[in-house]
Amino acid sequence: MEYETPLFFHVMQYAARADRDVIDMVSGNPDWEPPEALREGLREYADFEPDRFQYPPSEGLLELREEIAARRGVDTEQVIVTNGAGEANYLAMARALERGRGSEIILTDPVYPYYPGKTTMLDGTQTFVAADEDGQLDPDAVRAAASEETAAIVANSPNNPTGAVYPEATIGELVDVAEEYDAILISDEVYDHYDLSGEFASALSVDSENRIVTNAFSKSLAITGFRVGYAIFPPELVDDARSRHMLVNVAGSRPSQYAVLQALRETPPEYYETNRELLRERVDTFTDALDETGAEYTTPQGSFYVMARFDGYPGTLANVERLIDEAGVAGMPGEAFGDSRSDWLRFALVTPRVEEAAKRLATHFE
Ligand SMILES: Cc1ncc(COP(=O)(O)O)c(C=O)c1O
């Protein structure tokens, strides 16, 4: 088997090794503060008795699962705390494939590259459905692609890399398609707290045995290094997912889960709104400055990313490396996200230097 290794770490390392100042806009690592309660939770943890330094329950701390379940309106038994949304997606895809209803996973183009990578690793086959220019997904196109072979449809809203936020009707119809073919809609909602449009709809708003929702605190609490996420399974699918989680990981990180629980309990809504406001400002600053470059670009409705297309400069890895060396701006090649955006570059707005980055791009493409 040939694994498809996502390019993120390669580009990050290339940028880190560069012989010049580089503005890092490669991956979605927030540069803003986590909630204060999270830091306090961690400090508290250092002084706990040694028993709290031992294995937590494999499926996650009970109080954290209860907190998640209460917030999401599901049963605690449906919640597995995972090693980020990354593991949640892996468990969901594995569970969908092992139901034996088919081996095809329907993905979008453009796509978050870890999904095709995981599909291959799990011995599934990939079918891509093109999103439109705005990144919206037409459920009828998904229906047309679906068949008895379809094990899962993976949707991500707010979307990486397009910034699209799917309306409630789209999510509802995607669940319908999954039900029609007895497949599973996997709804990756890791950017739910960065909905800048007010249009975000969770797949949990539709009651169905045919959907799994995945999420994490990596982005919402600005802690991609903590590795705390979760998956919400329909009751009849959760047991085997829990076993797979245990066999792969034994358990997740206990101090991280404790600190996340404290943060969930103590953090007011203003924390999340402040971060959305910061992102809105960065989107405006970056896209205004991009206007100077004559580039075409996307204005995200959610998530952290702006895609830009510079005339005569396709989104290849070689061009991304050139941009790092010659302009001092590091983005991701559009080709990493599928054929449809291979002319584009993706920039993550996770640096206060977005205006300077756009100016560097303007100078470079003058
Ligand atoms: C769409 C999407 N899903 C999942 C992940 C991985 O999240 P985590 O760090 O919680 O594993 C990311 C990270 O960038 C993402 O963009």
Local confidence band at 198 (pLDDT 50, 70, 90 cut-offs): very high
**Do the Cβ atoms of 306 and 300 come closer than 8 Å?**
yes
Q: Which two tokens stand for residue 23?
A: 């503005």
- Whole-number Å distance, alpha carbon 145 to ligand 1 midpoint, is 25
- Whole-number Å distance, alpha carbon 87 to ligand 1 midpoint, is 9
Q: Is the CB of 160 under 6 A from ligand 1?
A: yes
Q: Is the CB of 91 under 6 A from ligand 1?
A: no
Q: What is the mean pLDDT of residues 172-189?
A: 98
Q: Is the CB of 28 under 6 A from ligand 1?
A: yes
State residue 201's pLDDT score: 98
User: CA-to-CA distance for 134 and 137, rounded, in angstroms?
Assistant: 9
Q: What is the dihedral of CA 142, 147, 153, 155, to 10 degrees?
A: 0
For ligand 1, atom 16, name the residue with the nearest CA.
Answer: 160
- Whole-number Å distance, alpha carbon 312 to ligand 1 midpoint, is 31
Q: Is the CB of 108 under 6 A from ligand 1?
A: no
pLDDT digits (tens, 9 = 90+) for 216-272: 999 999 999 999 999 999 999 999 999 999 999 999 999 999 999 999 999 999 999
State residue 92's pLDDT score: 98
Q: Is the CB of 357 under 6 A from ligand 1?
A: no
pLDDT digits (tens, 9 = 90+) for 320-343: 999 999 999 999 999 999 999 999
State residue 6's pLDDT score: 79
Q: The tokens 């706990």 sit on which residue?
A: 48
User: What is the pTM for the complete model shown?
Assistant: 0.97
Beta bridge partners of 329: 23
The angle subtended at Cα 312 by Cα 311 and Cα 313, nearest 5°, is: 95
Q: What is the mean pLDDT of residues 4-9?
A: 83
Q: Is the CB of 113 under 6 A from ligand 1?
A: no
DSSP state for residue 343 in the 8-state scheme: T
State residue 67's pLDDT score: 98
> For ligand 1, what atom is nearest to the CA of residue 228?
10
- Whole-number Å distance, alpha carbon 169 to ligand 1 midpoint, is 24
> For ligand 1, what atom is nearest to the CA of residue 224?
9
CB atoms within 10 A of CB 215: 26
Q: What percent of the chain has pLDDT over 90?
A: 96
Q: Is the CB of 127 under 6 A from ligand 1?
A: no
Question: How does DSSP assign 253-291, residue by residue?
Answer: -HHHHHHHHHHHHH--HHHHHHHHHHHHHHHHHHHHHHH
Beta bridge partners of 186: 154, 212
For ligand 1, atom 14, name the residue with the nearest CA.
Answer: 28
CB atoms within 10 A of CB 19: 6
> Is residue 355 scored above 80 in pLDDT?
yes
User: CA-to-CA distance for 184 and 151, rounded, in angstroms?
Assistant: 6
Q: Which two tokens stand for residue 172?
A: 């509802």
State residue 5's pLDDT score: 79
**Do the Cβ atoms of 228 and 251 come closer than 8 Å?**
no
- Whole-number Å distance, alpha carbon 210 to ligand 1 midpoint, is 22
Q: Beta strands 211-216 and 150-156: pairing type? A: unpaired
Distance of CA 77 to the CA centre of its chain: 24
Q: Which two tokens stand for residue 87?
A: 């593991």
Q: What is the mean pLDDT of residues 94-118?
A: 97
Local confidence band at 356 (pLDDT 50, 70, 90 cut-offs): very high
Local confidence band at 4 (pLDDT 50, 70, 90 cut-offs): confident
Taking domain 8-34+269-364, whether its CATH number is 3.90.1150.10 is answered by yes
pLDDT digits (tens, 9 = 90+) for 31-63: 999 999 999 999 999 999 999 999 999 999 999
State residue 3's pLDDT score: 80
**Do the Cβ atoms of 50 and 70 come closer than 8 Å?**
no
pLDDT digits (tens, 9 = 90+) for 300-318: 999 999 999 999 999 999 9
Does an H or E element contain 152, and which?
strand 150-156
User: CA-to-CA distance for 106 and 85, rounded, in angstroms?
Assistant: 18
Q: What is the mean pLDDT of residues 90-117?
A: 97
User: CA-to-CA distance for 137 and 143, rounded, in angstroms?
Assistant: 11
Domain spans in the chain, listed from the N-terminal domain onward: 8-34+269-364, 54-266
For ligand 1, atom 7, name the residue with the nearest CA.
Answer: 85
**Do the Cβ atoms of 229 and 83 come closer than 8 Å?**
yes
- Whole-number Å distance, alpha carbon 85 to ligand 1 midpoint, is 5
State residue 277's pLDDT score: 98
State residue 282's pLDDT score: 97
Provide the mean pLDDT of the chain.
Answer: 97
Q: The tokens 């940028």 sit on which residue?
A: 15
State residue 318's pLDDT score: 96
- Whole-number Å distance, alpha carbon 297 to ligand 1 midpoint, is 23
What phi and psi values does residue 304 have, to the nearest 5 degrees? -110, 5
> For ligand 1, what atom is nearest to the CA of residue 112?
1
Q: Is the CB of 110 under 6 A from ligand 1?
A: no
Q: Is the CB of 216 under 6 A from ligand 1?
A: yes
| Reduced DSSP (H G I as helix, E B as strand, rest coil) percent helix, strand, coil of the chain, to 5 | 45, 15, 40
DSSP state for residue 56 in the 8-state scheme: P
CATH architecture of 54-266: 3-Layer(aba) Sandwich (3.40)
Local confidence band at 124 (pLDDT 50, 70, 90 cut-offs): very high
Q: Is the CB of 181 under 6 A from ligand 1?
A: no
Burial (0-12, 13-18, 19+ Cβ within 10 Å), 6: middle
Q: What is the mean pLDDT of residues 131-152?
A: 98
State residue 286's pLDDT score: 96
State residue 366's pLDDT score: 82
**Do the Cβ atoms of 202 and 71 come closer than 8 Å?**
no
Q: Is the CB of 112 under 6 A from ligand 1?
A: yes
> Is residue 358 scored above 80 in pLDDT?
yes
Task: Report the candidate in 265, 258, 256, 259 with the shortest Cα–Cα distance to residue 83.
Answer: 256
State residue 1's pLDDT score: 77
Q: Is the CB of 158 under 6 A from ligand 1?
A: no
- Whole-number Å distance, alpha carbon 51 to ligand 1 midpoint, is 31
**Do the Cβ atoms of 22 and 324 come closer than 8 Å?**
yes
- Whole-number Å distance, alpha carbon 219 to ligand 1 midpoint, is 8
pLDDT digits (tens, 9 = 90+) for 77-103: 999 999 999 999 999 999 999 999 999
